[in-house]
A and B are shown apart, each in its own frame.
Chain A
Amino acid sequence: MREPARQMKGVTALHLKTYVALAAIITFAPLGNVLLSKGMKGMPSAMHWQPRELLSILGHILSSPYIWLGIAAQLAFFVTYMVVLSWADYSYVQATSAFSYAVVAVLGYVILGEIVNPLRAAGIAVICVGVLVVARTSPRTTGLVQPSAITTTAERAD
């Protein structure tokens, strides 16, 4: 009698942690891009493309706190993306993460004060639709990959 209730609780927990992870994905990725954008605004442009000039620009980039915050946000996105893929379908995760394109426009407006005109907003909506269509196709189209070579290597070592 307790088994179905426990299974139900497990399913609810799975949904909850999936929604939390997806919310993190569609926040961290656009936030990272917006922070990188803020960090890159006002950076000196390369005029002669000489190694010394490029190294100086690289120094400016790496000394910007916004760039490091952006990299941290991108890293957080990447780790969350990898973790959520360990239990959720790739096609499901890819489809929902398409909303990052809309979130980046909103964050660009809120944080950077960028104006998103109607044509750009419509274009972003069309991109989201296109990504959803792609995501509804099978995530695997080739034959099944052989079980990990790790196991094979480990077995050989034994």
Chain B
Amino acid sequence: MIREVLLLFMVIFAGTGGELCISRAMKSAGEVIDFRPVSLVRFVWLAIRVRWTWIGIGLMAMAFFSLLGMLSIEQVSFVVPVTALSYAAGALGAAVFLREHVSAQRWLGVLIVCVGVTMVWFSKR
């Protein structure tokens, strides 16, 4: 049980932390308005020079291996739905880390997701 919670914690927080770091890196690199291959390569070159990109990649790799660990001990129809908790972590992280305005409707959606995750969690008993 402790191992599952620990792995889930890693999947959610390392995954969401990675996405937030990548999001922060992308925002500092600027919005992509030109989708030609040369411009995209130039954008990737810019992005990999941002420190947050590498922190994000590291965290996402940790989340991926934690997901593999969880899939080795639990059913996929349990693991994937409970990772929807990342919507809650994402909303919290976006509000705190990226200073985004999270509306009441978004918090309501996050609450509904949490209810669904709780139901899936108890379904394995």
Asked if residues A37 and B71 are in contact (CB atoms below 8 Å), the reply is yes
Using A120-B123, A127-B120, A130-B87 as known contacts, say yes or no to A104 and B106 having CB atoms under 8 A apart.
Answer: no
CA distance A130 to B111 in the complex (A): 7
Residue among A34, A150, A154 with the highest chain B CB neighbour number at 10 A: A150
Asked if residues B80 and A101 are in contact (CB atoms below 8 Å), the reply is yes
Contacts of A131 in B (CB 8 A): 84, 87, 109, 113
Q: Tell me if A76 counts as interface (CB < 8 A to partner B).
A: no
One digit per residue, 1 when the CB lies within 8 angstroms of any chain A CB and 0 when it does not, for chain B 30-57 equals 1111110001001100100000000000
Contacts of A132 in B (CB 8 A): 109
Asked if residues A138 and B116 are in contact (CB atoms below 8 Å), the reply is no
Q: Tell me if A40 counts as interface (CB < 8 A to partner B).
A: yes
Q: Tell me if B79 counts as interface (CB < 8 A to partner A).
A: yes
Q: Tell me if B98 counts as interface (CB < 8 A to partner A).
A: yes
Contacts of B72 in A (CB 8 A): 40-41, 43, 45
**B116: contacting residue among A61, A109, A123, CB under 8 A:** A123
Q: Tell me if B9 counts as interface (CB < 8 A to partner A).
A: no
Contacts of B31 in A (CB 8 A): 145-148
One digit per residue, 1 when the CB lies within 8 angstroms of any chain A CB and 0 when it does not, for chain B 88-106 equals 0001000000111111011
Asked if residues A141 and B120 are in contact (CB atoms below 8 Å), the reply is no
One digit per residue, 1 when the CB lies within 8 angstroms of any chain A CB and 0 when it does not, for chain B 106-125 equals 10111111111111111110
Asked if residues A129 and B112 are in contact (CB atoms below 8 Å), the reply is yes
Interface size class of B (residues with CB under 8 A): 35 or more
Q: Tell me if B76 counts as interface (CB < 8 A to partner A).
A: yes
CA distance A153 to B71 in the complex (A): 44
Q: Tell me if A84 counts as interface (CB < 8 A to partner B).
A: no
Asked if residues A145 and B80 are in contact (CB atoms below 8 Å), the reply is no
Asked if residues B71 and A40 are in contact (CB atoms below 8 Å), the reply is yes
CA distance A45 to B109 in the complex (A): 36
Asked if residues A125 and B30 are in contact (CB atoms below 8 Å), the reply is no
Using A123-B120, A124-B81, A147-B31 as known contacts, say yes or no to A130 and B43 having CB atoms under 8 A apart.
Answer: no
Q: Tell me if B68 counts as interface (CB < 8 A to partner A).
A: yes
Using A130-B113, A149-B46, A151-B34 as known contacts, say yes or no to A119 and B80 having CB atoms under 8 A apart.
Answer: no
Contacts of B35 in A (CB 8 A): 86
Q: Tell me if A14 counts as interface (CB < 8 A to partner B).
A: no
Asked if residues A108 and B84 are in contact (CB atoms below 8 Å), the reply is no
Identify 4 new A-B residue pairs, CB closer than 8 A, beyond the known A104-B76, A105-B77.
A120-B123, A134-B110, A136-B105, A137-B109
Q: Which 6 A-B pairs have the closest CB atoms?
A: A123-B119, A130-B112, A133-B109, A126-B116, A127-B116, A130-B113
